[in-house]
């Protein structure tokens, strides 16, 4: 009889604990995402990008049947043997890398600038279907390009959060697909030495920490029912939702990011890799990139006097990007 009572009370305690955890997690999930005030430097930088000569939108079909957008810039000499895939940063889309794409095309690269799924004209704005889908999309894009350009050799470029994502795929699933990697002011994670502290830097993003923690805990126990919830908002103008992606879902945020173990990722790279950053970057700590890539062959180039968004359009930044693609 004693054991029956003990088991009964143990079950009651267990159900109580489970119920309490469910209430706590539910409360954490219910915390809404708050958008930070617009960041003037980011807005001005995006507006400074020259949109003249922008390539039109083309589409490719991803493995899930979704039609995803990209822009194709032919090489100045019409060569198709050198192909550069250019990845934009957080909240943006392919238009913001127009000047980078034009410069590389002038350098005789065939340039492909996709709207990463969840951005621009690709998929549902601010969300993806599952974590890892962006990797699959990029693999599908490269596979399709190889069919059209069988002699092509591929380089990968990523700006800001796109740089962190480019590092992750180049050091992981797509490590054999690219022969050069250029990271422009890459965001390598909130706790990376190269990322400025939110307390001292310009505020570009506002994460919903309680919701993020709750969803991370749920993912660890195999529950992914709520990963479409937004967990971060960016400092874009409040009336810009039709032009940019102001919020990311949990699964988009955790896919469009750098690998957690930066040292291991940079150590796995088998291809020439260059980081280019402006010395006046208001979101990054330029001098700390050297610490992140210590004991690797990765080169860091710092362009004097330039901020984060300056790297997408100023002549000095474009010269540095061009040089990074030329270096052998």
Least confident interval from 48-52, 100-104, 219-223, 313-317: 219-223
Which helix H or strand E contains 182, and what residues bound it?
Answer: strand 180-184
Dihedrals φ, ψ of 233, to 5°?
-125, 145
The DSSP letter of residue 12 is H
pTM: 0.91
Higher pLDDT, 233 or 43: 233
pLDDT of residue 297: 94
pLDDT tens digits for range 66-118: 999 999 999 999 999 999 999 999 999 999 999 999 999 999 999 999 999 99
11 or 191: which leads in pLDDT: 191
Q: What is the pLDDT of residue 25?
A: 42
Separation between Cα atoms, residue 247 and residue 228, nearest integer Å: 11
**Helix segments in the chain, DSSP class H:** 2-30, 40-48, 98-106, 133-148, 161-170, 209-220, 250-255, 262-268, 289-292, 315-326
**Domain map (residue ranges) of the chain:** 40-326
Across 205-224, b (16+ Cβ under 10 Å) vs e yields: bbbbebbbebbeebbeeeee
Q: Is the pLDDT of residue 22 over 50?
A: no
The fourth-level CATH superfamily of domain 40-326 is Alpha/Beta hydrolase fold, catalytic domain (3.40.50.1820)
What digits encode the pLDDT tens for the residues 187-208? 999 999 999 988 777 789 999 9
Nearest to 113 by CA among 159, 178, 47: 159
Q: What is the pLDDT of residue 12?
A: 44
Q: How deeply is 167 buried, as exposed, middle or buried, from its count of CB atoms within 10 A (0-12, 13-18, 19+)?
A: buried
Contact (CB, 8 A) for 274 and 328: no
**Cα–Cα distance between 45 and 38 in angstroms, integer?**
13
- For residue 91, give the nearest of 284, 258, 244 by alpha carbon: 244
- Over residues 309-322, the pLDDT tens digits come to 999 999 999 999 99
In whole angstroms, what is the distance from residue 240 CA to residue 74 CA? 30
- The pLDDT of residue 30: 53
Residue 163 has pLDDT above 60, yes or no: yes
How many residues are listed for the chain in this entry?
A: 328
Structure confidence at residue 29 (pLDDT):
52
In this structure, are residues 270 and 297 in contact, taking their beta carbons and an 8 Å threshold? Answer: no
**In the predicted structure, residue 324 carries a pLDDT above the cut 80:** yes
Give one DSSP letter per residue of 259-276, joined into a string: -S-HHHHHHH--S-EEEE
Which position has the token pair 């909130």? 190
Read off the tokens for 145: 């390009």
Place of tokens 């697909």: 177
Question: pLDDT per residue over 253-310, tens digit each?
Answer: 999 999 999 999 999 999 999 999 999 999 999 999 999 999 999 999 999 999 999 9
């Amino acid at each position: 009889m004693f054991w029956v009572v003990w088991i009964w009370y143990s079950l009651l305690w267990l159900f109580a604990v489970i119920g309490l955890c469910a209430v706590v997690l539910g409360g954490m999930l219910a915390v809404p995402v708050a958008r930070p005030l617009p960041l003037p430097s980011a807005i001005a930088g995006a507006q400074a990008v020259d949109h003249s000569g922008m390539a039109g939108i083309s589409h490719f079909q991803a493995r899930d049947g979704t039609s995803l957008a990209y822009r194709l810039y032919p090489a100045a000499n019409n060569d198709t043997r050198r192909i550069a895939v250019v990845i934009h940063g957080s909240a943006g889309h392919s238009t913001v890398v127009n000047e980078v794409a034009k410069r590389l095309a002038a350098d005789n690269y065939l340039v492909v600038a996709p709207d990463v799924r969840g951005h621009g004209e690709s998929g549902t704005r601010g969300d993806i279907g599952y974590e890892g889908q962006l990797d699959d999309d990029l693999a599908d894009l490269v596979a399709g390009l190889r069919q059209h350009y069988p002699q092509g050799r591929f380089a990968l470029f990523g700006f800001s959060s796109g740089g962190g994502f480019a590092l992750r795929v180049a050091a992981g699933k797509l490590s054999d697909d690219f022969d050069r990697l250029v990271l422009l002011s890459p965001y390598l994670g909130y706790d990376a030495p190269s990322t400025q502290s939110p307390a001292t830097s310009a505020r570009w993003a506002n994460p919903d920490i309680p919701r993020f923690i709750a969803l991370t805990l749920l993912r660890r126990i195999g529950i992914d029912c709520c990963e479409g919830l937004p967990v971060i908002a960016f400092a874009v103008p409040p009336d810009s939702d039709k032009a940019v992606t102001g919020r990311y879902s949990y699964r988009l945020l955790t896919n469009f990011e750098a690998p957690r173990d930066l040292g291991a990722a940079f150590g796995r790279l088998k291809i020439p890799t260059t980081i280019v950053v402006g010395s006046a970057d208001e979101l990054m700590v330029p001098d700390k990139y050297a610490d992140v890539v210590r004991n690797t062959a990765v080169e860091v180039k710092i362009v004097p006097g330039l901020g984060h968004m300056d790297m997408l359009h100023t002549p000095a930044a474009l010269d540095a990007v061009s040089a990074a693609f030329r270096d052998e």
